[in-house]
Amino acid sequence: MFRCRKRAVRRDAGAKRLRLLAEFLRAKSVRREANGQEETSSQDSEIQVQNHQLIMKLPHDLLFKILILLPAESLFMLQFVCKKWFNLINSSVFIRHHSRQSETVLICQKMTSTAPENNLKSYFHFLDLDHGNHHSFVESIVVNLADVITSYDGLVLATVKNQSSLMLMNPLTRKYTSLPLGTLTDFCFESYGIAFCNDSSLYKVVHLCCEKEGDSSCEILSICASTRKWTRIEGPSSELLRNVRQTNPVSIGGSLYWMSGKHESDYFIISINVENEKFITKKLPISSRKHSRIMEIGGSLGFVGYGEDHYLMQGWILMKDGKELEENWVNSFNINLDNVSVVAICSSRNGEKMVFESPRDCLYVYDFDNDEMKEVHSGDYIDPWFERIEKLYIPHRNTLVSWEDHYQVTFPCSS
């Protein structure tokens, strides 16, 4: 009966995504048809020409400041306005600067597929938290994608349906590349993460898993044109790895972080710096209870946990001591959940808001400035006792980033 219930929930979630996709495509078709029927008067056309000429004469610095404020979806279309705009929008400095201020959205881990007239298509499904219950879909150029494993810097790592390889791609620009699978394992624990290595200006994919003998295994793949081979490195201790509770790692500043459960009476995070490829462990500030998790908060590693009272949420941030350059946990905030059962998913880019999920698959956003929690997404009802069988959404940022780009570390003051 329990397995039947799981299948029913999966079918309901899949049916809902298809319904949302159909509504999105229908609305898009209506807008396209309406735009095609509009007739512009000669006076309006003349005004548009004048505005276009003014825009073309904007100084480079001012144009940079204007375009950097636009969402990546708009920039992807605006790059074709003229050669000047194309060169600016596709420059390494602009892409990196824009990616650093792009806001967090949620991307569904399950691909949405539809087959009108026997033409199968796959879509990435996004949820914009700033505009409430606003869904958008981006068609994938790769039809046989199955699941999104992880997301970082606007890039997603996904599996294909025949499990023959991995796909690294930017859903917005539709650029993609095929990667070999990591070492296959029969154990249930397996985790992939992506991080950017400043020293070599390369993205690296890290694969962490337990092998048949129970030993920990770690391998790294550098995303460059000259090689597509995994390199084996020494992983964390098997005891820590077997207790990992958060399989989706958090990627911050060239390092990947996993949260481990209790080991020898303490709770830890496991991290690897992709530049020196070394693992370290650090104790968590308090006990890691159920639904505790780590996440990026305002550009730093944050830990969201619970005290003795399950409805009092405590937020801690790992910060460096200016004198000794050591990282220490600092209690940053406490949230009284008022007897509401929710789980923290992620934080906004600036750390001013936090996203929560309820057992009913509803999403809430907590505003720290207003001390207010509001519902932004209403999901299909699931009985409170029923455990989530899949995590529908993971944090994502829409950018123009590509693994082929080499970014500069510093930026001009004029930007």
For residue 392, the model assigns a pLDDT of 75
Give yes or no: residues 304 and 326 share one domain: yes
Residues 357 and 301 in one domain: yes
Residue 117 DSSP code: G
Same domain, 271 and 195: yes
191 and 259 co-located in one domain: yes
Same domain, yes or no: 188 and 234: yes
Structure tokens at 372: 């207010």
Which pLDDT score, from 0 to 100, does residue 199 have?
A: 77
Contact 56, 81 (CB under 8 A): no
Q: Is residue 322, in this structure, part of any structural domain at all?
A: yes
How many domains does the chain contain in total?
A: 2
In a domain, 218, yes or no: yes
Please, what is the end-to-end C-alpha distance for the chain in angstroms?
59
Q: What is the pTM of this model?
A: 0.82
With a CB cutoff of 8 Å and minimum separation 6, the contacts of 100 are: none
Domain boundary among 283, 311, 335: 283
Please report whether residue 2 resides in a domain.
Answer: no
β-partners of residue 364 are 356, 375
Q: Which domain holds residue 256?
A: 182-283
Any domain includes 238: yes
Those residues with Cβ within 8 angstroms of residue 402's Cβ, 6 or more apart along the chain or in another chain: 95, 170, 173, 175
Picking from 233, 252, 283, the residue at the C-terminal end of a domain is: 283
The answer to whether position 51 is within a domain reads no
Would 207 be classed as within a structural domain? yes
> d(Cα 249, Cα 274) in Å, to the nearest integer?
13
- CA 90/CA 79 separation, integer angstroms: 8
Shared domain for 272 and 289, answered yes or no, is no
Burial degree of 77 (CB within 10 A; 0-12, 13-18, 19+): exposed
Q: Is residue 248 domain-shared with residue 329, that is, in the same domain?
A: no
In a shared domain, residues 306 and 220: no
Long-range contacts of 228-237 (CB under 8 A, 24+ apart): 228/179, 228/180, 229/180, 230/180, 230/182, 230/183, 233/277, 234/279, 235/208, 235/279, 236/208, 236/270, 236/279, 236/281
103/396 Cα distance (integer angstroms): 9
Residues 278 and 220 in one domain: yes
Whether 271 is covered by a domain: the verdict is yes
Same domain, 250 and 327: no
- 9 within a domain of the structure (yes/no): no
Token pair recorded at residue 313: 């949420």
Do 304 and 256 fall within a single domain? no
Contact 157, 194 (CB under 8 A): yes
pLDDT by residue for the chain (415 residues), tens digit each? 434 444 454 556 667 777 777 777 777 766 666 555 554 444 454 444 444 555 666 777 888 888 888 889 888 888 888 888 888 898 888 998 898 888 889 998 888 887 765 577 889 999 887 766 678 899 898 888 888 999 999 999 999 888 788 999 999 999 999 999 888 776 667 889 999 988 778 899 999 887 766 677 899 999 886 677 899 988 887 777 777 777 789 999 899 999 887 666 678 899 999 999 999 989 898 887 778 889 999 889 999 988 776 778 899 999 876 655 678 899 998 888 877 778 888 998 888 889 888 877 788 888 888 888 888 877 654 444 344 434 678 899 999 999 886 543 333 333 3
In a shared domain, residues 275 and 313: no
The residue from 226, 248, 283 where one domain ends is: 283
